[in-house]
Structure 1
Amino acid sequence: MAYVLVLNSGSSSVKFQLVDPAGEATDAPLVSGLVEQVGEPMGAVSVTVGGQEHREELEIPTHSFGLERAFAIMGEHNVGPTDVEVIAVGHRVVHGGKLFSEPQLIVDEIESMIEDLIPLAPLHNPANLDGIRVARAMLPDIPHVAVFDTAFFNHIPPAAALYAINSEVASQYDVRRYGFHGTSHEFVSQQVPKLLDKDPATVNQITLHLGNGASAAAIRHGRPIDTSMGLTPLAGLAMGTRCGDIDPGIIFHLVRQAGMSIDEIDNLLNKQSGVKGIAGVNDFRLLRQRIEEQDQDAWLAYNIYIHQLRRFIGSYMIALGRVDAITFTAGVGENDTEVRQDALYNLDMYGIHFDKEANLVRSKEPRMISTADSPVKVFVVPTNEELAIAQKSAAVAAQARAEGLY
């Protein structure tokens, strides 16, 4: 059996899986693991094989050291990159800018182009690039493929993509809406027509990726026409630690009145805002517990979150004109029954007939949580970004081999 090694490299961590690209969305990966706290006095490498976790705690000075340890642990259980057939290494890259609307075989030129995009994603692309360089050095004979979070939204209509600011400034500094979570929105939106038993080219849908980061997308006939995140992942819905859409004048106000620096405001809006900024926690299980304990800050944070979510659902229904399905995915979307119910509360007049009993069913399978006669169907579809990356990477690698590049 052939596998794709899927890598998601962060500034101090590397998540990885060995995935069968021909598998189903609900299949468990052959291997999953995490290298964490790279560069800290003490880190950890964990590798899960067959449901059994193997963990080492040690200092991890570099990403390459961490991956070497991970590969060694995998090798001890006969599932290392040289023990099984690895046909590609798929790398999640957060920002592809205007350059990349498709996955790319990583060669030196592509690596350089990803580096050029760092100003658009200074918190993410450098770490993604580090992971690419480390993995290419460690596995030089295997095709490496970059799969971009922004690619799915690369061609949304100009009216949705462009901001109403001076066009020369916007053009010079690549200021536009790029959107994120594209791999997840694309994967989930491709499952929905199958559930509806309709031609994908006829389906209009809204997809809601709700995790610690959250985004919404409006998709007409298989192509996105709008999405909530913007130049950066900070825009759109209120999230776990990010504020979502705010009046940009708030930034000027904090500079002038609070004397805050750009870095302080960056940290405030990205890491100390959203649900956490109001309630003190960003884990929705803890938030729910606090709401049950009558914590007013937790209740306020939840209401703001739901209010923003309903705003985007409503605006996308208008943008699409006709909606066939609304789909929830990711950690909160797949598991929080109250979020789903409250997001669609009392919308029968818009053709959304919610089924409270179906909503309470716990499952890892795609499922409908609207009534059978609901004009707008509502689904929960578990996302599987790793499988999507594996499938895209396998296809690019096969083409590279067909062209004699490997």
Structure 2
Amino acid sequence: MWTLVLNCGSSSVKFALLRPDSGEVALSGLAERLGSEGAALRIDRASEKGSERRTQALAGGSYPAAFEALLSELDALGLRPDVGAVGHRVVHGGEAFSAPALITPAVLDAIRACVPLAPLHNPANIAGIEAARAAFPELPHVAVFDTAFHQTMPEVAYRYGVPEVWYRQHGVRRYGFHGTSHAYVAQEAARLLGRPLEELNLITAHLGNGASVCAVQGGRSVDTSMGLTPLEGLVMGSRSGDVDPGLHDFIARQSGLNLSEVTAALNRESGLLGLSGLSNDMRELEEAAGRGHPGARLALDVFVYRLAKTVAGMAVALGRPDALVFTGGIGENSAGVRAATLARLGVLGLEPDDEANARAVRGTPGVISRPGPVVALVVNTNEELMIARGAALLLAQPV
């Protein structure tokens, strides 16, 4: 059975038509830089000659435009009848979901109820679900939640120091995100290191437009940098990451913004974009920093500092980390970010291997640090495969 996986982020849509058992991919691609004039759709199709790639501009640059282009591609290639199930990445499941769920009207309502917790992501997830259910009404649709992997965190890691009634009545706690990615790269890191996952203490760093770090002990999440919403933690593409909670009231009073407007600015106008005054795209910032742009240089420095500081903090959750794993668009492709981060982590015994780090680009994972008590490596994430496997496992269960 082929599974169509939709992985909708805040500024991108990854998709793949694949077999959950073998990982064979018939069609995959990425719609990126959504919401900008440079929005484009990249389509990779397996063929007898290998992989064929085609890129097209997306008029309007919106999520619906990306999804319509994907459906048109499936129809044009005659692949639409081969789809047996649809797996959807859903960022926030609150406390309602700790495993994949067959999408029903009640499940969709529960996902909608989590929109205030993930305002950049859950609406895009819901739009993908609704469009796909309309296109494939006869197929089962499964939601796989980013928050599910982190449900193994101990209470000491997920509780905030806030009134108990906030947690009991409103579910105010740390949930964590990027769970499918952290779970996948932990498994792959164990394989690359030739050690059982159950015996490893790993720090996984998923770095993209959204970014988070996770402490994985024996294959289970025991702490992570994101919290109640995807806004907590690291500096990200357009998200601020950690700020003083008093900032909301201060800015509201000083600028006349209401609390919703302040939160929107922290989600959409902050992070790398806010610091640089230029872009939320790491590729553009590295190029600009190389030309001497001060805002781009500051954004890179803050990003790396906060990342290294968070990685070091995760050692507290593990006691003794065995490895640091970089993944995601930035983690897999930016040798500069990786090198700068490792240079700040001598406290963990990490030292970059410049030659190995330079070789570790997408498609060539491996160790990028010199021998020491902790090893650093790059692993290419595959959230689509994890989503397809999660959907397959759920659908294989007896009714």
Superposition TM-score, scaled by structure 1 size: 0.87
| Residue 53 of structure 1 pairs with residue 54 of structure 2 | yes
CA contact (8 A) 1:11 1:126 kept: no
Looking at structure 2, the residues matched to 362 and 74 of structure 1 have their Cα atoms a distance apart, in angstroms, of: 33
Contact 2:184 2:383 in 1 (8 A): yes
Note closer, same or farther for the CA distance 1:356–1:262 as it changes in structure 2 (3 Å cut).
same
Distance 2:287 2:231 in 1: 26
Q: Does 2:219 align with 1:222?
A: yes
Give the 3 Å change call, closer, same or farther, for CA 229–56 of structure 1 in structure 2. Answer: closer
Per-residue CA deviation, residues 195-244 of structure 1 (Å, 9 max, x unaligned), is: 22222111101000111111101111111111111111111011121111
Q: Distance in 1 between matches of 2:342 and 2:309?
A: 11
Corresponding position: 1:213 with 2:214:
no
Please list every run of 5 or more consecutive structure 1 residues that lacks an aligned counterpart in the other structure.
Answer: none
Task: Tell whether the 8 Å contact from 1:87 to 1:394 is kept in structure 2 after alignment.
Answer: no
Shift in Å, 1:138 = 2.5
Give yes or no for contact 1:31–1:47 (8 Å, CA) kept in 2.
yes
Given that 2:157 and 2:222 are in contact with CA atoms closer than 8 Å, whether structure 1 keeps it comes out as: yes
Say whether 1:241 aligns with 2:242: no
Q: 1:73: which partner in 2? A: 73
User: Which residue of the partner structure matches residue 334 of structure 2?
Assistant: 336
Task: Give the drift of 1:384.
Answer: 1.2
Instruction: Determine if contact 1:9/1:128 at 8 Å carries over to the other structure.
Output: yes
Letter in 2 for 1:53: R
Structure 2: which 5+ runs fail to align? 47-51
Secondary structure class of the residue paired with 1:146? strand
Larger displacement relative to structure 2 (126-135 or 387-396): 126-135
Partner of 2:49: none
2:175 matches 1:178: yes
Q: Distance in 2 between matches of 1:12 and 1:137?
A: 23
Task: Indicate if the aligned counterparts of 1:347 and 1:353 stay in contact, CA closer than 8 A.
Answer: yes
Flag the 1:105–1:303 CA change in 2: closer, same or farther, 3 A.
Answer: same
Q: Which residue, out of 89, 93, 97, partners 1:92? A: 89
Residue of structure 2 in register with 1:149 after alignment: 146
- Cα offset, 1:37, TM superposition: 7.3
- Tell me how large the CA RMSD over aligned residues is: 2.9
Match of 1:8 in 2: 7
Corresponding residue SS for 2:189: helix
| Cα distance in 1 for residues equivalent to 2:19 and 2:109 | 29
Corresponding letter in the other structure for 1:358: A
Matched residue, 1:136 = 133
Contact kept? 2:200, 2:218, Cα under 8 Å: yes
Closer, same or farther in 2 for the Cα pair 1:377/1:124, shift >3 Å? same
1:195 to 192, 199, 207: 192
More deviation in 240-249 or 298-307? 298-307
**Residue identity opposite 1:92 in structure 2:** R
- The 1:217–1:15 alpha-carbon spacing in structure 2 relative to 1, beyond 3 Å, is closer
Q: Partner letter of residue 296 of structure 2?
A: A
1:278 maps to a residue whose letter is L
Q: Is the 8 A contact 1:208 1:329 kept in 2?
A: yes
1:370 matched residue in structure 2: 369
- Aligned counterparts of 1:10 and 1:284: Cα–Cα separation in 2: 16
Deviations 1:112-164 (A, max 9, x none): 32233333334432332232233223323222110011111123111110110
Q: Which moved more, 1:352-361 or 1:215-224?
A: 352-361
User: Aligned pair in 2 of structure 1 residues 348, 308: CA closer, same or farther (>3 Å)?
Assistant: closer
Residue identity matched to 1:236: G
CA contact (8 A) 2:248 2:263 kept: no
- C-alpha distance in 2 between matches for 1:219 and 1:147: 19
Q: Deviations over 1:49-74 (max 9, x none)?
A: 342427586689994x9756643432
- Residues in 2 aligned to 1:246 and 1:61: alpha-carbon distance in whole angstroms: 30
* CA contact 1:35–1:67 (8 Å) conserved in 2: no
Q: Assess, with a 3 A threshold, how the Cα gap between structure 1 residues 114 and 240 changes in structure 2: closer, same or farther.
A: closer
The answer for the alignment partner of 1:284 in structure 2 is 282
Compute the displacement of 1:318 (Å). 2.5
Which is further off, 373-382 or 49-58? 49-58
Q: Does 1:111 align with 2:112?
A: no
Secondary structure of residue in 2 paired with 1:154: helix
Which runs of at least 4 in structure 1 moved beyond 6 Å after TM superposition? 10-13, 35-38, 43-46, 56-62
User: CA–CA distance in 1 between the matches of 2:40 and 2:206?
Assistant: 29
In 1: Cα distance, 2:239 partner to 2:245 partner: 14
Letter in structure 1 aligned against 2:149: F
Higher-Rg member (1/2): 1
1:19 and 2:18 correspond:
yes
Q: Match for residue 257 of structure 1?
A: 254
Measured in 2, the distance between the counterparts of 1:62 and 1:331 equals 19
Q: Distance in 1 between matches of 2:360 and 2:40?
A: 32
CA separation of 1:353 and 1:293: change in aligned 2, threshold 3 A: closer
Instruction: Find the partner of 2:263 among 263, 266, 286.
Output: 266
Q: Which stretch has the larger CA shift, 44-53 or 265-274? A: 44-53
- In 1, the alpha carbon distance for the partners of 2:226 and 2:26 equals 29
Question: Does 232-241 or 106-115 show the bigger shift?
Answer: 106-115
Q: Which residue of structure 2 lines up, in the alignment, with residue 391 of structure 1? A: 389
